[in-house]
């Protein structure tokens, strides 16, 4: 979920497709296309559309700012997929534990941990 500025955005109730065997299909007039949120009025729908189309969103993964909602979602998915491919499974838990509780700058953390992990791999080869 992208950030609205620097804050997590909470969605309204979401529209879900009914099950196939359901007899009654609820009809909602005002549904935001980007998020499938249900709005109570046309004014609320217009306001939400304006917010989602504005370049006020931030990618939660990369920190890239000035994106539309769709751009921020795409940036998050792309980055997460790249990270899944780039980081081996056996390193993932260790990296997340180190980064999660650290207040250091990410570039410094990366350099230190890369050196540590490289030293561990080299010792395994001996």
**pLDDT tens-place string over residues 6-33:** 888 878 766 666 666 666 666 778 888 8
Q: Kindly state the average pLDDT of the residues 100-125.
A: 71
**CA pair distance 78, 118, nearest whole angstrom:** 27
pTM: 0.67
**CA pair distance 75, 37, nearest whole angstrom:** 21
């Amino acid at each position: 979920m992208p950030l609205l500025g620097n804050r997590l955005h909470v969605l309204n109730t979401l529209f879900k497709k009914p099950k196939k065997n359901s007899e009654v299909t609820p009809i909602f007039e005002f549904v935001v296309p980007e998020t499938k949120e249900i709005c109570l009025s046309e004014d609320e729908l217009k306001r939400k559309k304006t917010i989602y189309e504005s370049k006020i969103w931030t990618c939660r993964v990369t920190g890239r700012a000035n994106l539309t909602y769709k751009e921020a979602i795409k940036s998050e998915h792309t980055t997460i997929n790249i990270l899944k491919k780039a980081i081996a499974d056996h390193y993932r838990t260790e990296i997340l534990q180190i980064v999660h509780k650290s207040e250091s700058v990410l570039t410094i953390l990366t350099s230190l941990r890369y050196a540590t992990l490289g030293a561990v791999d080299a010792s395994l080869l001996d």
